[in-house]
Amino acid sequence: MSPTETADRSLTPLSPAVFVTGKGGVGKTTVAAGLAIAAVQSGQGAVFVEFGDGDSGERAFGKLPKNLKHVVLDPQQAILTAAAPLFGSATLAKLALGNFAMRPLIQSAPAIREIAVLEMVRRVVEEHPRRRVVIDMPATGHSVAWLRVAQQGRDLTKRGPIHDLCARVHRELIHPERSSVVVVTLPQPLVMNETIKLCGAIEREVGLRVDRLVVNHVPAMPPPDALSDALRVADELGVVATAAGELGALLTKRAATALAVDKALSQAAGERTATLTRLPLSPADPTARQVARWLTERGAA
Amino acid sequence: MKAPQVIVSAGGGGVGKTTTSAALALALARSGKRALVVSVDPARRLADALGVAVGGQVKPLSLDTGDGELFGLMPDPRTSMRAFVELLFAEEPEALARLLDNALYQVLEDAVPGIHELVSMALTTEAVRNLEIEVVVVDTAPSRYAIDFIHYPGRLAKLLGGRAVGWLAKLAQRGNTQKKGRPNRVERMLAKVMGSVVYDVAGLFAELALVRKRFVALTAQTSRLLLGPMSQYVVVTAPSAAAQADAEYWIKQLSALDLRPTAVLLNRALSPEYPFAKVLRSAPETTGSMHQVLNSLDEECRVREDATDRAVEVLSKRYPHVSQVALPYIESSDPREIVEALCGKLDGHLDALTA
């Protein structure tokens, strides 16, 4: 099986909200930005959501294209904004949450920060019904905890406004018909193993479907006869033959790794009707626009 | 007990932090030290990297360590919270039973950041004492939240020591006994919004307040280990834009905490040598396809060297006081082989890294 990509246009379309996740360092942000740009280019318009300081979005886009909104969610601010309607007003929310006992409590209880951020994401999706909302998630492990928190909050509180808020986030956002999950990975055995575990955890513990498995930085295959040529030369005697043998060994090792990784990822994708999309390795870190083009060409955008 | 040397390795994801930490610990062991490598990274790759079993208890690792010895610890974050509360409530069995029954505790059991690190450090402190460990290498989580690992326990201890806990305990009691008494405005508002869970929240902290002394002792122990005069920080990075942004983030954060990193380990920075390439290039037997492969190998090396040069230039200019150690790119699908190769390279830098 050759890992060259064949465009398959009959892929499951992505849902309005797209959570992009994966192990750190796999190029998650660039893929997320690429999915947003691809939606803009197809005329749909997009919102790119990131948690934190806004650094990664700025790095990925440079100048923001028209019809693309960049939303940065600050957890502290999200808590106040999400809580305002619960308490009746922002002032009352500030009073209750700023209470000397509640303030440190909220800072120490992780679930509160996470549910507030998810509620803000839900509102962004609601406010942009025609746009694709791409969410650049925290790295593996953390992302499963984030996505699970709505359901946990709902079950824990049983009733009341917090219960309703969690239930709404779960119903309107963390739902297979509302959200797609895109998992980004690399063609390396260890990264791949983590990715396959992550896919399982998202489905089992969160109840969302993984719609795309994007393998980033896939190196080009060497010319098909390079290996046989090298092995033929290696059959002779002398320094050249020894050198050719070493080249042959390197090519064999690389081919074996590539094949094993591709097979495992294809199987992981097949088990969950996710599409496996391979993006090529390029000399410099690819730009979000380049990634958007690749994703569109492969029908994965 | 003589205070051990502690080296904390920080950095972004995907740069080979666990592998580098394992290699550093192995190199220290081979230099004759009694070393311990602890991974608090929830990705739990330490065992994979070393190719031997590493678990939730400190155990000697069955590796060739020459004159020294290498121990390993990789607690499971999913059982950390339970281990932690059992440690805390060792002398308060009734409170422990109430806590385990608390609905909120059950949700938080596998999700509290900082606790996993705290438990790992408690186990580390114990091992340092019992096994006379001389040097500890701590592999942290790659997330930027990992900086919480330094702040969080202190913050929690402060909360438990403050008057907030008394207020919460009163609130918890009201929830338990339906006792009369006038709830104030904030209480009424919270109860209305959060429903009965507000009493679970309050209850959780009231129980924790019972064991505040032990909690504070644990966090103090952790602080001594991580922030003491024998602790130092190294930042692991790789030649890519994202990894470099992460590295700079860590250098800034750590410097702001007065924990200026001693070194940046630039992983996968040096290209391998391909001695066969020179021979084949001038050999008449080499075919066009083989030449193509040789050219792409050259290209790979050139790209890597350019990225490394850029990273070195930026880091030297912005952080002249942080020394740099460039490590080779090892092409192998066997993690153990990579650890061995890096261990050999790090051996020459141990003095600088443990200065």
Tens of pLDDT, residue by residue, chain A (301 residues): 344 444 444 567 899 999 999 887 788 999 999 999 999 999 999 999 998 777 788 888 988 999 999 999 988 889 889 988 888 888 888 887 777 777 766 766 667 888 899 999 999 999 999 999 999 997 666 788 889 889 988 888 878 888 999 999 999 999 999 999 999 999 988 788 889 989 999 999 999 999 999 999 999 999 999 999 999 999 988 999 999 999 999 999 999 999 999 999 999 998 888 989 999 998 778 999 999 999 999 999 8
Across the interface, of B77, B103, B290, the residue whose CB is closest to A226 is: B290
Tell me how far CA of residue B240 lies from CA of B14, B49, B95, B213, B302, in angstroms: 10, 22, 50, 46, 14
Whether residues A283 and B299 touch (CB distance < 8 A) is answered with yes
The CB-side HSE value for A207 (13 A sphere, CA atoms) comes to: 13
Q: Residue A186: which domain range?
A: 3-218+269-297
Across the interface, of B43, B48, B333, the residue whose CB is closest to A141 is: B43
Which stretches of chain B drop beneath a pLDDT of 70? Answer: 1, 109-114, 143-153, 176-182
Beta partners for B180?
Answer: none
In angstroms, the CA B87 to CA B222 distance is: 14
The answer to whether residue A252 sits within a structural domain is no
The answer to whether residue A152 sits within a structural domain is yes
Chain A residues in contact with B42 by the CB 8 A cut-off are 141
As for how many domains chain A has, the answer is 1
The answer to whether residue A168 sits within a structural domain is yes
CATH number for position A166:
3.40.50.300
Min Cα distance B93 → chain A (Å) is: 24
Min Cα distance A36 → chain B (Å) is: 19
Chain B residues in contact with A194 by the CB 8 A cut-off are 43, 45
Q: What is the pLDDT of residue A17?
A: 97
Position A223, amino acid: P
The answer to whether residue A264 sits within a structural domain is no
Min Cα distance B78 → chain A (Å) is: 11
Q: What is the pLDDT of residue B228?
A: 84
Q: What is the ipTM of this complex?
A: 0.80
Q: What is the pLDDT of residue B332?
A: 87
Q: What is the pLDDT of residue A2?
A: 40
CA dihedral B297, B299, B301, B305 (to 10 degrees): 180
Tell me how far CA of residue B34 lies from CA of A189, B130, B247, in angstroms: 31, 12, 29
Whether residues B45 and A190 touch (CB distance < 8 A) is answered with yes
The answer to whether residue A226 sits within a structural domain is no
The answer to whether residue A263 sits within a structural domain is no
The answer to whether residue A257 sits within a structural domain is no
pTM: 0.84
The answer to whether residue A246 sits within a structural domain is no
Whether residues A105 and B289 touch (CB distance < 8 A) is answered with no
Q: Count other Cβ atoms within 10 Å, centred on residue A273.
A: 11
Tell me how far CA of residue B173 lies from CA of A50, A163, A273, B204, in angstroms: 41, 23, 51, 11
Of the residues A74, A105, A140, the best mutation for testing chain B's interface (the one with the most B CB atoms within 10 Å of its CB) is A105
Token digits of residue B353: 């890294």
